[in-house]
C-alpha cells in the first residue's frame, strides 16, 4: 500500500515540475506590471506633494488649544523623503 502512495506523490511531483515553467511564464507579465506600478508610485512627485498636503492637514487638525487666548504647541509629524 505504501508503494502506491509513494508512486502517487512521485507522479504529482513530476506534474508540478512540468507545469512550473508554464505557470512562471504566465505570471511574469503580471509581475513586471506590478513592479512598474510600484516604481511609478515611489518616483511620483505629485503623489509625494499630495501626501505632504494630507500630512499638513492632519497636523493642523490635531493642533491642541491650551487656553482661550493662544494655541499651545502643536503635536505634529515630520517627514523626510529621500
Q: What is the pLDDT of residues 58-69, one digit of tens each?
A: 877 777 554 445
Residue 5 has pLDDT above 60, yes or no: yes
Mention every residue, 6+ apart, whose C-beta is less than 8 A from residue 47: 41
Alpha helix stretches (DSSP H) within the chain: 2-43, 45-61
Q: What global pTM score does this model have?
A: 0.53
Name the residue with cell 502517487: 8
How many CA atoms are closer than 13 Å to the CA of 82, on its beta-carbon side? 2
Closest CA to 77 of 64, 65, 62: 62
What ranges do the domains of the chain cover?
2-43, 45-75
Q: Measured between alpha carbons, how far is 21 from 42 in angstroms, rounded to an integer?
A: 31
Name the residue with cell 499638513: 56
Amino acid at each position: 500500500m505504501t508503494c502506491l502512495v509513494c508512486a502517487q506523490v512521485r507522479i504529482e511531483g513530476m506534474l508540478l515540475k512540468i507545469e512550473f515553467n508554464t505557470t512562471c511564464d504566465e505570471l511574469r507579465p503580471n509581475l513586471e506590471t506590478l513592479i512598474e506600478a510600484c516604481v511609478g508610485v515611489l518616483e511620483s512627485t505629485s503623489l509625494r506633494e499630495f501626501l505632504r498636503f494630507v500630512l499638513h492637514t492632519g497636523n493642523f487638525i490635531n493642533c491642541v488649544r491650551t487656553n482661550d487666548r493662544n494655541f499651545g504647541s502643536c503635536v505634529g509629524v515630520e517627514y523626510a523623503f529621500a
